[in-house]
Amino acid sequence: MINNRLKEVFLSIVVVLTLSIYTIGCADDPSSLGLNFIPPGETTGVRTFDSYIDTMLITSTNVRYYVNTSGSPNLMVGKNGNYDAKALIRFAGLSGDYDSAVVNSASLILNYRNYYFPVSMSDSLAQIEFNIYKITRNLNFSTITLDSVNSSAFGTVSQGNYTGSPTADSQDVVVSLNTSMVKDWLEFAADTAYSNKNYGIVLSPGNSSRVVKAFYSAVNSVSEGLRPQLKIIVTKNGDTDTLITSVSSTLSLVNTTLTSGNETFSIQAGISYVQIMKFDLSKIPSTATINDVQLYLTLDSANCQFSSQTSHSIFGQYVNDTAGGLKVDNFAFQGSSSDTGRYMMRLVSSFSASPFQRWLLGQSNYGIMIHSGNQTTNLDLYSFYKETASDPFKRPRVKIKYTPRRTP
């Protein structure tokens, strides 16, 4: 009799525990029917969507998004294959006291910054060649991009030339300039109504160039003494003076053509190529609250071009519109690399609403722009596997944590 009673008590405890576990499980992950009984606006348990498991349509396009490089510490010039880099310099700070002076000599002094593209050891030793031409119209160095400048902005008569292979950091490169052009600059400094204006010069690479190399630009520290310099020796009223100025504006205009294959896409700084990625959110409830979004991209390291300047980071920006050119938010989400060759970008922030949340709220889905971390600095080239890669585990992956909500 006692044994039977103990058995009844034991079975009762088992039943209660089982019902408790079942109830807890239901509370954490209610069915769609159960959501109807939750007060409006209240959250339920967090759910996870994984594009590798749940499937998500991802589409992407490689496009040019022209950038201004006047803030770069690199002033790039040279050629390699279909890469062509022009360097623009405009000197200021010239004294207005030397009108009618005789210019005995004039020199452009550049300091090599030990950056080269491509990044192989043989390229570090390769030569560059360039001719110097006048810039023939007033260009705003702080805003212009490659697509806003054409060949008509540059003269066709050489004002100086250089051929050589700078290899050591800070190595001087001295180029003699046409004294008539520099005399015009001094006349213009004395009288801005002077007909021959000082719009600057362009260093245009010649066919003997085998590489793109960088010199220190105008944004580098004055104390380092590595900025481009203009040295002029003049004689006026029988007195000979040496004038030196390192006050200038600089800019690189780099051009090439990249073609994405079926397996990978490339993003490149400085030019710049970017990837527009779009994500189909049809499997996420339109009323959901997005808690976290992680985008994973797998690197095709064999086709990347990284240097000692590379930050090994990428950025994503919300695309606002595509009419009349690509428009993006100023705020950028950062992605970093891991030892496994994967980059992870978290597309949520306390400073900016997640793009995925915006799309769920009804904003137009123009996608995310993915670009290099050093977008305006150098020529970092990243290659990533795309959504059509033959290996499904190398394709982009999206993990979304969200909380369902019931609308009133």
Amino acid found at 95: S
Cβ-in-10-Å burial (0-12, 13-18, 19+) of 323 comes to exposed
Question: Tokens representing 171?
Answer: 């190595």
Q: Widest CA span of the chain, in angstroms?
A: 131
Cβ-in-10-Å burial (0-12, 13-18, 19+) of 382 comes to buried
Question: Tokens representing 376?
Answer: 């305006």
Domain ranges within the chain, ordered by starting residue: 34-65+272-403, 74-255
Q: Which of 25, 24, 194, 171 is nearest to 99 (CA)?
A: 194
Q: Render the burial of 63-87: b for 16+ CB within 10 Å, e for the rest.
A: ebbebbbbebbbbbbbbbeebbbbb
DSSP string, 60-95: EEEEE-----TT-SEEEEEEETTEEEEEEEEE----
Task: Give, for 124, the enclosing helix (H) or strand (E).
Answer: helix 121-125
Tell me what pLDDT residue 42 has. Answer: 52
For 177-268, where are the E strands, in sequence order? 201-205, 212-216, 229-236, 239-245, 248-255, 264-268
Tell me what pLDDT residue 26 has. Answer: 40
Question: Tokens representing 114?
Answer: 């030990």
d(CA 372, CA 308): 15
The 3-class secondary structure across 297-329, one letter per residue, is EEECHHHCECCCCCCCEEEEEEEEECCCCCEEC
Question: Tokens representing 7?
Answer: 């058995």
Question: Contact, 279 vs 56, CB < 8 A?
Answer: yes
Tell me what pLDDT residue 24 has. Answer: 38
State which residues of the chain have pLDDT below 70: 1-44, 406-408
d(CA 231, CA 246): 9
Residue reference for tokens 């749940």: 54
Phi-psi domain of 233 (left: phi exceeds 0; alpha: psi -120 through 50; beta: other): beta
d(CA 109, CA 172): 7
